[in-house]
């Protein structure tokens, strides 16, 4: 991998990290701290048991 490719990869990773962090900040429920499994309005959540387990740990 050349230096230019390494810089581009690093930039891509920084973008991915920022977008991931922003997702969790934006989707966190301020009342209980839970994070939505997905942002689509239609369809069931992916893992309700995980959310319940997280609540039990609080």
**CA quadruple 48, 50, 56, 58: dihedral, nearest 10:** -110
Instruction: Please indicate, yes or no, whether the overall pTM of this predicted structure exceeds 0.75.
Output: no
Domain hosting 37: range is 3-57
pLDDT of residue 36: 76
The pLDDT of 2-7, averaged and rounded, is: 86
54 or 12, greater pLDDT:
12
Residue 19 has pLDDT above 70, yes or no: yes
When pLDDT is cut at 50, 70 and 90, the band that residue 17 belongs to is very high
As a whole number of angstroms, the distance between CA 6 and CA 48 comes to 39
Give the number of domains in the chain.
1
């Amino acid at each position: 991998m050349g230096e230019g490719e390494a810089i581009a990869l690093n930039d891509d990773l920084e973008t991915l990290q920022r977008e991931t962090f922003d997702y969790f900040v934006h989707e966190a429920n301020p009342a209980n701290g839970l994070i939505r499994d997905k942002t689509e309005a239609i369809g069931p959540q992916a893992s309700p048991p995980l959310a319940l387990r997280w609540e039990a740990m609080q």
